[in-house]
Amino acid sequence: MTLQARAAIEALRAGVPNRAAIRLMGTEQSDIEHLFDSALAGVWQQHPQAERGLGIAGGFGTGKSHLLGYLAEAARLQNFVVSRVVISKETPLSHPAHVFAAGVRDARLPDRPDDPIAACVAALREQPEHLDALEDAVTAAGSGFAPAFAAGIFLLRRASTPADVLRRLERFFAGGRLSNASIRPALIAAGGGRTHSLKLPAGAELIQQSIRFLPMLFRAAGYAGWCLLLDEIELIGRYTPLQRAQSYAGLADWLGLAGARGVPGIASAYAVTDDFAVAVIEARADRDRLPERLRLKGRMHDAELALAGMAHIERTVRDHRLLPPNVTDLTACHDKVRGLYAEAYGWPAPVLPPAERISSRTMRQYIKGWITQWDLLRLEGRDVSLVSATMASNYTEDDASWDPEPLADPLA
């Protein structure tokens, strides 16, 4: 436990909570926790009004990332595969393929450290009855899946399928394209050459099918679904107007808002700065201008989704905003960190005098301040006065291209 406590303290000192810090510190945001539990419980509901996610708003250092990490732990306890995606120039929210690829790269199983897709494929090859259910789902009338998904499941059933073909199928399930020259001989050898097609749709449609298929694969292998956590979505404030519009629509899709595709099996949560609604959506008149940009391109449905995404962010800032800590919050947090510090270093960390409460001071600043004071007391026997500053959000539009490089074909 001492090593775990040390890892937690070092993460808190750096201001980037790891799993040890998140588990040991917990959270007092019980309302958000209950809403998230409801989203997880309804993740496979089919009706169009079933939102499968929520948002968290707060200033820099208020604990958004810590709370997202706590929600990740809560999802793992409910047997979800969990991915955490930080929105960036390389992973823009306006590009579903890049968000999906980042989610696949970061996906973690709740019960083992194995590669999630490879582990699920291996488990399904030993459970043919679960493969039956998955095959029925992708071949049902109106399922919308390309025949290649059924062909892949057909090959999973065959004990004779070569290992390199299995690896290619895993990459396909992760969003890659199938190489006809590599897979067709295996289909023929397994007796499925005439009955199974490897025809694939265009890239944008294929990625949507892959997004729908992956949580079904996880479920067939025995997991509850896929939990996708999106951090730092305020970066879209630096996008060009059209990219912002596409990002708002993309957020609505991942959350399954009314009118969105709402992929069954995926629960999403996101974190955003608490001044985003005023500084970006209102200040730039995004509600009035951006949907019209999409309508001019004939994207009527995306225009409605963009409005829904903006409304959700505004509702999040209003209802799910992490407020500055009060006296009770500070006392409880101080006692938890003090206990961790004492255990981490085998040193009786003293109770520190109550810190001056300033409305702009964040919980991260309080925690780093306590740890620094204990460090100096433990190592040098002296106290220190601390000075903190608040970082301002930067929403300056960047005219440089935010279009990421095309995704590499996993089979290349």
DSSP secondary structure string, 380-402? HS---------PPP------S--
Residue 30 in this model has a pLDDT that exceeds 90: no
DSSP state of 280: I
What is the architecture, at CATH level 2, of domain 30-110+223-319?
3-Layer(aba) Sandwich (3.40)
Q: Average pLDDT for residues 22-31, to the nearest whole number?
A: 77
Quickly list H helices, 268-299.
Answer: 276, 286-296
- φ, ψ at 350 (rounded to 5°): -80, 160
User: pLDDT of 138-180, one tens digit each?
Assistant: 999 889 999 999 999 999 999 899 999 999 999 999 998 888 8
Chain region(s) in the chain for CATH 3.40.50:
30-110+223-319
Nearest to 318 by CA among 271, 277, 279: 277
Enumerate residues 6+ apart whose C-beta is below 8 A from 339. none
Residue 411 in this model has a pLDDT that exceeds 50: no
Least confident of 225-239, 361-375, 384-398: 384-398
More confident residue, 270 or 330: 270
Residue 410 in this model has a pLDDT that exceeds 50: no
Binning pLDDT at 50, 70 and 90, where does residue 412 land? very low
Residue 368 in this model has a pLDDT that exceeds 60: yes
Decide the pairing of beta strands 53-58 and 80-86. unpaired
Percent of the chain with pLDDT over 70: 91
Least confident of 53-57, 229-233, 355-359, 393-397: 355-359
Decide the pairing of beta strands 53-58 and 225-231. unpaired
More confident residue, 104 or 3: 104
Q: Facing residues of 316 across strands?
A: none
The span from the first CA to the last CA of the chain, in angstroms, equals: 45
Cα(330)–Cα(366) distance, rounded to whole angstroms? 8
More confident residue, 33 or 227: 227
Question: Across all residues in the chain, what is the average pLDDT?
Answer: 88
Binning pLDDT at 50, 70 and 90, where does residue 402 land? low
Residue 130 in this model has a pLDDT that exceeds 60: yes
User: pLDDT of 204-253, one tens digit each?
Assistant: 899 999 999 999 999 999 999 999 999 999 999 999 999 999 999 999 99
Q: Average pLDDT for residues 347-376, to the nearest whole number?
A: 83
The pLDDT of residue 324: 75
Residue 41 in this model has a pLDDT that exceeds 80: yes
Q: Average pLDDT for residues 33-61, to the nearest whole number?
A: 82
Cα(108)–Cα(115) distance, rounded to whole angstroms? 8
Tokens for 150, please give them.
């059924």
**Could you give the C-alpha distances from 300 to 297, 320, 362, in angstroms and in order?**
8, 30, 41
Residue 62 in this model has a pLDDT that exceeds 80: no
DSSP state of 267: E
User: pLDDT of 275-320, one tens digit each?
Assistant: 999 999 999 999 999 999 999 999 999 999 999 999 999 999 999 9
Residue 401 in this model has a pLDDT that exceeds 60: no
Q: Average pLDDT for residues 75-97, to the nearest whole number?
A: 94
What's the helix, strand, coil split of the chain in %, to 5? 55, 5, 40
